[in-house]
Structure 1
Amino acid sequence: MSKKKELSPELKAECEAAKALFVSKKNALGLTQASLAEAADISAAAVAMYLNGTNPLNPKFAAVLSRLLDVPVEKFSKRLAKEISGLTSGGEGSADAGLSAAELVRQMLTKQGKGLSEESRRRLLAAAESDDSTEIKYYQPGQVGDEVWIAHYDVRAAMGGGQIPHEYPEMLQDIRVSPKHLRDLGVTFKEHFHLKMITGWGQSMAPTIKDRDPLLVDITIREFTGDGIYLFSHDDMLYVKRLQKKGKDRFKMISDNKHHDIEEIRVDDTHILARVLYVWNGQPV
């Protein structure tokens, strides 16, 4: 795997300015990196990568940070302030002003989307049309009778050597399930809107989890709650593995595939993002 390219001095300076503002105001506002991650709908690891200058700031994260800290975006990034202004207003006198999200995406695809596959174009347009019709609630998907919608995120959690996580998950599709049926299957959770779907990749957790099996996770579990299978990041890689505590400062990272060795990792270097509750192949976890 090639080494991640270092940010330019300008982009790094934006990250440093954002981090300085966050550090200076977080105590007074009662903020943490975890609460910032929650508000931005990204992982705690992704927040750390922004604030530490590993990934460049983007408009979505900048807008959330600005709102939570009650500071204008230009306080840490004039570049993004200008970009966000253009996105929201279309610019003074612009022909884009007042267009819906779907219309803007159609224009973008016409001008710049020639290299995209038809499936990618369809998904982008579908997401934009969804934004026009209803605000997507991260924590509270809509309920239909006894069935509820559970968001399915394109987060490839590697059941092997690990994968670099996306800057933020892209919503692909939802599934509709009955909370009562889930509980009848033995799935334990407090609220249905704590649940999300992800996809595992690789063979190291077979036979419990096979390559590309959908996984039901509880995103409110952000710390070790006992032996089990977790979604977590370590060394900027994303994993789905069993974790067991070894002493106070180490985890055993365990693969169900016995051809893979048990590894030991430091608790301080491990960021738990969710706990796996159910594998959509009927396998208990």
Structure 2
Amino acid sequence: MDARERLARAARIKGSSLAALSRMIGRNGTYLQQYITKGSPRKLEEDDRRRLAQFLGLDESELGGPQEKSYVKPQSRDWIDVPRLEIDASAGPGALGAQERAFDAFRFSRRWLIEQGLDGAQLSAIRVVGDSMEPLLREGDEVLVDRRDQPFRDGIYVVRIDDTLFVKRVANQGAGRFSLLSQNLAYPPIHVDAEELEVVGRVVWKSGRV
């Protein structure tokens, strides 16, 4: 299997389109499609190859790079790549959800995920915007969202109301009613009926600068 076939196969396994991968490396949306189908360019540039190998969990040599310059080890059972999505969850007045497209990934230790009870979880990372969840979550933090279908319990969730995404503390008020609560007391609670609310996933971890 040559480098082009390996790239196409890895993209399919990852669930990423060639257009999205092209944009991830700063190229136009048809760049990798032309590379694979038309052989133009003849080979990937070093920086492009390195970023693609890192994101797809491949050795650089599998994408046409020299063996001695491999950036990452071949796919390892010890690590899980969690996609970072091109969407924001608002901790303010609400953010419209964009297309859920991965542009990068966080790499987590499989052992750590098991220790956190997240082995087998459907995980993705999205960025927080707004200040309503301060000081718990600040604008620019990224949160790890467990999207498994599981029994609801009060906690921090990413939820969708209509086409708007929020990250809030969600409390079950009973009788089919829920409250969306902010950490910042300047923001009043939002009360909704169950049919108005779509739970995207539970927030289980956050990253952010100190």
Question: 1:253 aligned to 2:180?
Answer: yes
1:271 paired residue among 191, 198, 204: 198
Consecutive unaligned residues of structure 1, counting only runs of 5 or more, are: 1-40, 42-95, 107-121, 135-141
Per-residue deviation at 1:264? 0.7
Task: Please list, as runs of the form range in 1=range in 2, the aligned pairs for 1:1-285 lying within 5 A after superposition.
Answer: 101-103=33-35, 143-166=75-98, 168-184=99-115, 187-191=116-120, 194-221=122-149, 225-281=152-208
**As a proportion of its length, which structure holds more strand?**
2
Cα pair distance change 1:165/1:211, threshold 3 Å: same
Q: Residues 224 and 272 of structure 1 are in contact (CA less than 8 Å); yes or no, is this contact kept in structure 2?
A: no
**As a proportion of its length, which structure holds more helix?**
1
Q: Structure 2 CA distance, aligned partners of 1:172 and 1:165?
A: 15
Runs of 4+ in 1 over 3 A off after TM superposition: 102-106
Q: Structure 2 CA distance, aligned partners of 1:197 and 1:209?
A: 14
Q: Residues 143 and 149 of structure 1 are in contact (CA less than 8 Å); yes or no, is this contact kept in structure 2?
A: no
Q: Deviations over 1:97-136 (max 9, x none)?
A: xx96144899xxxxxxxxxxxxxxx8xx96xx97xx89xx
Identity %: 23
Q: Structure 2 CA distance, aligned partners of 1:219 and 1:226?
A: 14
Q: Secondary structure at the match of 1:160?
A: coil
Q: Secondary structure at the match of 1:188?
A: coil
Tell me the TM-score normalized by structure 1.
Answer: 0.47
Q: Deviations over 1:160-194 (max 9, x none)?
A: 1111111x21211011110323455xx332415x1
Q: Aligned residues, how many?
A: 155
Cα pair distance change 1:180/1:235, threshold 3 Å: same
Tell me the TM-score normalized by structure 2.
Answer: 0.63
Per-residue deviation at 1:143? 4.8
Per-residue deviation at 1:275? 0.9
Q: What root-mean-square deviation, in Å, do the aligned CA atoms of Structure 1 and Structure 2 show?
A: 3.5
